[in-house]
Amino acid sequence: MLQSTSLPAAGRARLPSRRTATVMAASGKTVMITGGNTGIGYETAKVLLAKGYSVTLACRDASRASNAVQRLQQQQPGAPVDYLLLDLADLASVRDAANKWMDSGKQIDVLLNNAGVMACPRMETAQGYEYQLGVNHLGHFLWANTLLPLLKQNPNPVRIVNVASTAHMFGKMDFDDLQSRNNYDRWRAYGQSKLANILFTYELARKLQPSSSITANCLHPGVVRTELSRYLMTDPDALTSKLLTALFTPFTLSPEQGALTNIYCCSSPDVEGISGKYYDSCKPVASTPASYDTATAAKLWSVSEELTQAYAKAPAAV
């Protein structure tokens, strides 16, 4: 059974090219969503639950995750939703969460790597890595690779979906200062982490295809009003941030609207068997030329393996 989830009229007026998200009913299929307790991750969970998917929210805060599960079950009594503790800023937590899931004997049909942080002051993860690179890329790199042996055992097609951003166009992989220790710029670091998301997706798709039934795609959800922007007011130029926020808020998407491309990539029959693509507004589009550089992607993969290997259950290789 297929059903289209449409944008409200106001959303369509601002985004005339945005498609509806056709959702394939999928009783028994399991979706794992990082950062699923809020924002577009939560809205994605809500729609997929309504279409028969089982959902696990992989979140770092037990209280907030439990609250999200309760809200979803209040809205949809009996909904098959639970949570798994996962802190992407700590590779030990990533390893332990992945191993706990694999030991549970449960499978994953859709792995939605949705969690992220944007434009924060310079901070470091538990392993001392720049926070945006660590959470947005390295945490998800280890998460996906640790779960990959399980995904390969699934007799059904599996989708890996990475939430990137159009901000990757401002990114450059600076392997000489990957941790942004010199002249830190929060937006440049964010752009680098989002470019890493896309390079990782394309390289993973190349390594998996054509012999695998696992696909890997990435997407830009749009400019969405979510907690992702919580660090904007901490910008040294806070007045500029406030003015920009006031100026652009009327043109941003609600979490419900921003979730549509997530939902599309996770569940639409249009994406079945498609891999190595970047989606915006529920359609495949070109990412920047830098994101297609295979040498850069291969180097990023190698460096990411080195940075995460101490926490890998097995070598992070496909």
Residues catalogued as catalytic: 190
The residues near 163 (Cβ < 8 Å, ≥ 6 apart) are 40, 112, 113, 114, 116, 197, 218, 219, 221, 262
Map tokens 């959702």 to a residue.
23
Q: Is 148 exposed, middle or buried (0-12, 13-18, 19+ CB in 10 A)?
A: buried
Overall residue count recorded for the chain in this entry: 318
Q: Using alpha carbons, list the distances in angstroms from residue 154 to 43, 107, 150, 216, 273.
A: 26, 7, 7, 15, 15
Helix, strand, or coil (residue 153): coil
Map tokens 């190595």 to a residue.
276
Q: What is the DSSP letter of 222?
A: -
Q: How far apart are CA 128 and CA 179, in angstroms?
A: 9
